[in-house]
Amino acid sequence: MDETRNVKIQVSGLSKVFGKQPKKALELRHRGAKRSEILEKTGQTLGLYDINFDVYEGELLVIMGLSGSGKSTLIRCLNRLIDASEGEIIIDGENIPTLGEKALLECRRRHFSMVFQNFALFPHRTVQQNAEFGLEIRGVGKTERYDIARSSLKQVGLDGWEDAYPNQLSGGMQQRVGLARALANDASVLLMDEAFSALDPLIRKEMQEELIQLQNKMRKTTVFITHDLDEALNIGDRIVLLKDGEVVQIGTPEEILTRPADDYVRRFIEGVDRSRILTAESAMRPVRATARSGDGPRTALRKMREHGLDSIYVTDRDRKLLGLLEADIASKAAENKADSINDYLIQDFRSVRAEEPMHNLFAMFSDRSFPIAVVDEENHLLGVVVKGAVLDELARAGEQ
């Protein structure tokens, strides 16, 4: 990882057992027992086991996993809404699990703001009073907290709604209040627990975009929980993938997409594509240049040079795909004074139909770096897909 970045929170060896004898359950897990076996033998649920990760200053770290993966437990261990059974959570030199009651309150006030899945707004308080909550708890003076809350409401686009009550607002607006409450508090870490999961897809997308914009401006250290890989890919600087209470993979969205750590992650990624029904067509770009069958090697080389290509697809008069010509082979052909490139074509490239699901394209990139040719039933060249386009398309997947 990037060595120059400051670690804001350091989580190490974090485990959580729901039950009265955590030692026993952890011991069993240590000896290799599965979650279900531990439940059967001790009646205790292993919520988290040996979690290790860092949160860097200013990054948006997504913790993602399906329900039951322990992600909600994990985020609650960070600000100790749930007490961890074992392990350390160091924030600015303080180990959160060992803090006394007073120090814990102080730590929560200074370091953590939280946004909740179901908003958790106070129904008896106005939007303004909700936004002021954190400051009020910290004992900030009336006029000061009024101004701060007002400006954070403005920041989330809730100008003019200060005197409304939460139940008068739509879901999206309620979550904006939740966000404003968190921003007004100006704690050093923002915890977002499935913050957008309760919103309908369009609003969710909109909130994601706004979070990204806010994040570009403020660079606030954020831990974001989600069960939605699209969301994770879209907003995360890095992703921690959880499964059954254990970390499966930590990495940037690209790393997770291109180098899934195991079959579990791979299936997950496939799920993304399928759910969005992304096909080769959506990532396809028009071919910048093709060589004609019968062209001389010098013509082909010139076309490649003009368009900055390392290789060029060769078609016949009807744009039927014949093969691929690589630049170094073409220049050898030119040295040999060959008349036509036809004998130098290689067939060692991939071609797919326009309706090919995108997740299949990944495997094809792993061995070769040629652009993938997209063809119709009659083998006419429709376009090409380059590696970057697939990533782009996946990252944009949530937008649709």
Partner 1 sequence: MEIPRIPLGSWIEGGLTWLTTEYSSVTRAISRVTQTGIEVLNEALMWLPEWALMALIAVLCWRVASVRLGIGAVLGLAVIWNLGLWDPMIETLTLVVIATLVAIVMALPVGIAAALSSRLYRVIMPVLDFMQTMPAFVYLIPAIPFFGIGSVSAIFATVIFSMPPAIRFTTLGIRQVPVELIEAADAYGATRSQKLFKVQLPLSLPTMMAGINQTIMLALSMVVIAAMIGADGLGSEVWRAIQRLRPGDGFEAGIAVVILAMLLDRLTQSLRRTRK
Contact residues toward partner 1 (CB under 8 A) are 76, 79, 81, 105-109, 112-114, 116-118, 120-124, 133-134, 136-138, 185, 191
For partner 1, give the closer residue by CB, 76 or 387.
Answer: 76
Q: How many CB atoms lie within 10 A of CB 201?
A: 12
Q: How far is the CB of 248 from partner 1 (least distance, A)?
A: 27
Nearer to partner 1 by Cβ, of 35 and 181: the residue is: 181
Backbone region of residue 168 per phi and psi (left: phi > 0; alpha: psi in -120 to 50; beta: other values):
alpha
Q: To the nearest whole angstrom, how small is the minimum distance from the Cβ of residue 190 to partner 1?
A: 11
Q: Nearer Cβ to partner 1, position 49 or 133?
A: 133
Minimum distance, C-beta of residue 378 to partner 1, in the bound complex (Å): 59
Phi/psi of residue 315, nearest 5 degrees: -125, 165
Strand partners, 314: 291, 323
State the nearest-atom distance from the C-beta of 260 to partner 1, in Å.
Answer: 33
CB of 157 to partner 1, least distance (A): 22
Min dist. Cβ of residue 113 to partner 1 (A): 7
Task: Classify 105 as helix, strand or coil.
Answer: helix
Choose between 117 and 279: whose C-beta lies nearer to partner 1. 117
Nearer to partner 1, 180 or 191 (CB): 191
Beta carbon nearer to partner 1, 187 or 257? 187
Nearer to partner 1 by C-beta: 112 or 370? 112
Both tokens assigned to 23: 């030692």
List alpha helices for the chain, DSSP H: 22-30, 35-42, 71-78, 101-111, 127-137, 142-155, 171-185, 201-218, 229-235, 253-258, 263-276, 280-283, 297-307, 327-335, 358-367, 387-395
Pairwise CA distance, residues 240 & 226, whole Å: 10
For residues 22 and 85, give the distance between their C-alpha atoms in angstroms, rounded to a whole number: 7
Q: Residue 151 and residue 184: Cα distance in Å, rounded?
A: 8
- Around 337, how many Cα atoms within 13 Å sit in the side-chain half-sphere? 0
Alpha-carbon span 299 to 342, nearest angstrom: 13
CB of 81: closest distance to partner 1 in angstroms? 5
